[in-house]
Structure formats: C-alpha cells, structure tokens
Structure 1
C-alpha cells in the first residue's frame, strides 16, 4: 500500500521533498548541466513519457508548473505601440502555471515540460542523452504535425464557428494535433461546443491555459512570443512539426497532388535543405464579390452554416490575391532544433539554417479582412488584389478535397444510421 500511495502522490513544487527528488533525479554525469528545476517530466511523468494522469490520481485536466530554461528565460517589455518578449537574466525564477486539457477521461493527455541544458550548444532528447549541435545530424522526418494557436481575444459564437472551421481544414490537411492556448475563463465556453468537445475527446484538440498571460487592450497579441516559446519547449524531444498559424490564416497547397502537410513539406522545401526551421510564404487574400471588398468578411463565414458545411466553404471565395506585397512569413519547426522563437520566425541551433519553402508550391492564405476592414478601398484594391491562375487552381483542388470529406462523412453517417436501425 505504501508503494501505491507513493505512485499516486504529486510532490508539491517548491517543497523540501520536491527539491530532494529533483536532486536525486539530476544525479549522473549526463544530468550535471541540466537546470534542476526543469526535471518535472522525470517526476510527474511515467510510462515512457505518457500522461501524468496516474501520478495525479485523477483524470484530466492535468496541472503543473513550468519553468523556462535559463537561456530561454522569457520576460515582457513594452515600448510605444509595440510589445514582445526577450531573453533576460533578470528574475530568472519566474514560473508559469500550466494546465492541459485534452484526450478525455482515460485518454493520453500529454504533459511534457522538458529538461533543457544550460549549454545552448546541446539539446535534451527523450532518450536522456545530450546531443552536441556541433555535430550535424539529419533529423528523422516527423510523422506528426500540430497547429499552435494563440488565445482568442474574444470568445463568442462567431469565434467558435471560425475555430471549428480552422480545425477541420487543417486536420483535413494532415495535422493530427491542434494546440489551442486559452485564457482560463474561456475554457468552459469553448468546451460547450459539441464540435470542439468531439475534437478534444478524440485527442486532436488540446487546450492549454497559462495563468497570468498578459493582456493589454491596445496590444491584443502581447503574449504571442511567450506562447510560441512555451509550445516549443513543451514538445522538446517530440519528433513532430509545430506550425504557428493564426485563426485568419489557412494553409493552401498550390501544386496538384499535395494533399497533406507532409506532402507539401517534402515537395516544397529545397533539396538537401535543413527541414527543421521552415518558413511558409504568406499572401493577403480577399473574397470576390463580397461587399465593397473592404468590409469585414466575418458574415461571409457565419452565413454558410457551421463547421462541416465544407462543400460550400467560404475559403473558396477568396480568389483575389496580392502577390506583390506579401506579409511576413510564418514558421513551422521541429522543436528540438529551435533555440528561440519570435512572433513570425524562429532561430535554430548551429549549424541548422532557416529554410524558405517554395512560394509557388504552398502558401498561407491570410484573410486580411476577416475580423475587420484592413484593406484600403478604391484603386489600390483593384491594383493589388487580382485573380491568379495558380491560386485559382489551388482553390479548385481544395474544393475537391472538401467535397470528398463531405462524401466520407455522409457515408459514415448513413452506415451508422443503418446499424442503429438493424439493432
């Protein structure tokens, strides 16, 4: 019974017992350079890095504390009209509380605050070994991919529809995980959506809340860099892609035959390139025939029904693209090779470089007017936003993909109904 009690007890971070366990876990030559406060995964996680549910003695959600490695220590600073996060040697003891929801009762709910070495020329892997980055290695091609989304600034029925559509689209393109950061007070409302609850219970949607995420009315995305760095740090050792994509951005394959994110990255990256820190090209797009082309396009998305109405997907209306003035690129990375993440891009450990993906092979469609009017009207719209044959063909390809999804869903529902009747 004593062993059973020990197995189901969580040591409180900061207690003497906690520190003693950390010191014990940190013993060994390979662990000497590891930040001792970060060995949470060795204490809270059992069974080869699976869910910490058994340690907590309960089902989801899982909660715990996350401390950033010293070389990744992230703190806010503000300037006029701008905000970001920088690495700093000040207040290195800052701790953020992490809560993960996903998988459902009895399901695997990944909780992985990973150990990172103080020496930035090395990285910690699941095998518990230190890999010197001075020795270039070819990473295994990931078989998993996740979208990382910042907290929604405003959670309401409209944002739920947008979120449902965003998850469905990217899941259709092969993303098997969708990591949504959220303010704690929004979680209950989010999980009232049957669609979102379905994704969570099927281990696709993972909702992560970080206590004390900063929020400023004039800077709604102040916390972006904190979120992205946290996502990278939480998945160190995981051989997967993390794509930092916003709610008004949709990944679009531009070449025929590319139906998944893995197809795209394999075909659109230069040969023999480092495929650990990749940049998506991104284009502003607006919907043809919508209002005066400068109004918010949100009603277009809400008038076509809820998620699941893919055969008439609003994205197919976005045939006008600005190819001459692309915005900043966005990044997709393998976490273990990344030393720091900014808002739109990342830096990788030496000798790994940033790889730019072919802009005529795949791209992010940035729905510039989705939330509000952000395109100047008149002649500028006519000059900048034009139909493009490659873009038009890509949307037709998406249309076929959407229709195929609808046919599969309808077939599944018919079979299920028939099975119910036979019983």
Structure 2
C-alpha cells in the first residue's frame, strides 16, 4: 500500500532530514515494494526496524603527512543488519563520504548480500580521506590510524570490511597489517587482500563479471542473446574493466568508457587484450582521465565534458558512481534504442531516471542485484580463508556465474509471484527483503 510506503519514508525523513542519498535509497525500496505491502502489511514493522541501523561508529582519524603536519579526517562504520550473517560491506575513501552516503550504501548492502544466498549481513564504512595525490607513506599512515580506531569493532565472525572507491589492494594491505599488529591474529577480517596472503582470484574484476552475467540472464529472459549486443559503459575503474573483459568473452561489444574529463567512443569496441590491458594501466596511473585512451587508439574519439549516454546502444551499464545517469540521460538512451539499463555502480541512476526507464519500456535492473558480483566473490574469499584453501580462477568464476544466475532467478520468481513482469526493482528488493525479514521475525525483537 502507498500509505505504508509513505509512513516508512516519513519516519526516515523525520529522523534524518538532511541525508538525501540515504532517503533516496529508502524511497526506492519502500515505494518499490508497494505490491508486497498490499499482501503482507504486517511486514511494515520489520521494514521500520530494518531502516534504522543496528549501530553506527563515527571516529576521528589523525595522521601525519610527509611534511610532519597532523591531518584530521572523519571515519565511519555502519553495522546495518546482521540477521543472516556477520556485517559485510566495503570501505570507501573519498572526499564526498559522509554519513548519508555510508548509510545508503549499507542499507542497499543488506538486500544485495541477501540475494547472493551467502550468509552475510549488511554494513558499510569509509572516510572523507582522499588517497589521490598522497604518497604511499601518507596512505599507509592514514590506513594505520584508521584501523587503530576501527579494529575493536570488527572481526571474522562480526564484521568483515572490503574495498570500495579509493580502497584497493594497497589500502587493504596497510589496514590488514595494522589489524595484525593490534590483535596478534592472522584471520580473514578483510576481503580484497593480496593474492599471496589470502586474497581471492578474480576479485578486482568480479563486479564487472557479475554484472555481465546478470545482463546476459536478463537478455536471455527476453528470448534474446547478449552476443552481438552493443554496450555503453561509464567509468573506467575495476568495474568497467571487468565489464569490458567479460563482454568481449561473451561476444558483446563495449563502445564507451568515461571519466570526469568526458568519454571515449570506440566504434570498433573495447574488446581486444591490448585495449583492455591499456584500460587497466590507465586506471593505475590515478590521473582519473580517459582522454589518453583516444590518443593510444586513434580510431576512437574523445568527447570532453560529456557523458556516454548519447551513443546508440542496446545495453547501458553505469559503472562509475551514484546518480550518474539522470532522466535526461535515460531519454537519450531511449531515443537511441537502448532496451536495458543495468546498474553496476551503487544507485547509479537517479530516481527520476528509474521512473523514466520503467515508463518507457526500458528494462531497468538495480545495483543491489546487478553489482552483487563483487561482494559475492568477497564472500567466496571469506570461505577460502575459513577452510584455508585457495581456488583457481576458473572455480571462483564458476561460483560467481552460478550466484548471479541464482540472483536473477530470485528476481524473476518474485516478479512472477506478485505479477510485476520485468520490474527488477521490485523483484530484487522483494526477494532480498523477504529473506532478511523472515530471519528477523524468527530471531525475535532484534
């Protein structure tokens, strides 16, 4: 019922009126679940509990820069829900990080982790620290100070953070080293670790791989094939790199990548080992620009200050950051014949873009389903750490493909049960929420 959705959103807005990203995430879920409220109105109480995090930690991070000056940043960890397992979710280091962003990410993480079928609750954390432009020594000192505050709240059976924007293998390594120094324990408390000390193969590319597996299932559900499809990708980090690599393997063609400086259009496709390897090297320079790709491959074109959504494509994959695709972008995609919008960034589309897609027969799937490949392989890393084994890349990839197929199946089953054909927002949220809600009810007032 719309009344239930309105009450839930009103309560959230009254408590946190200034947290726009968090309120957007809540709005997407509670309004998207109106068909569920019509059949199960008693679950309103469960959702009201779920919207409020179990606990939030905010802490000061003081660190010494290379000039001997003390710098201050703010750290966060939101332990959102542990009904189906220990808290699991990444750490983001970026100047934009605030409590609203961490809460929206943690809230979505609950449903995403639930859909993987792995025993993981939802959490998220990070800091407004910016690794860009910092020396390795400065990043190390920050990470050590950050973990000095965080370590007392996490553990392999309590809360297992991972990487996110601004947190890669380097940052995970520095934090893990400090955790060991403080606890005298060698245990799987972080995921995204280095390959020689507990990390899982294909973790960096897992979100992109998983997104293409999900997109392939969506296309197949419409009785089409992903082979031969043209794809517009935004971003050029690990997610975009993994998407380009897996798209090439599935014989689809990615024609764009983007950065803050604009986007590159490659009509021939970003589909050769040379191009994909260059994309990875380009990101490693930390310059955060894509223009050099067009210089390296002259048949491609660079369009400064523009988004890739003006190009004709079959599938759009937002892979950069939240709210990167708005209603105007969705209208351009629709005008150019795009049929599928598949979020690989967290909340990559604005709410207006979501509504535009759904009202114009574009099949839209939310990040809580499509980009679950990253946390799925993090969960597989946790398993490998627990059993003290290391799987081959092919074995991890097979598990990932199975998980993403199962997520799509859960979405379809929920859409079918509630008569919401092709509404992946409803399907993903309903399937993820019902599993968590059942666990919360069975465990009592938690």
* Higher-strand-fraction structure: 1
Q: Would you tell me which structure has more helix in proportion to its own residues? A: 2
Whose Rg is larger?
A: 1
TM-score by length of 1: 0.24
TM-score, normalising length: structure 2:
0.23
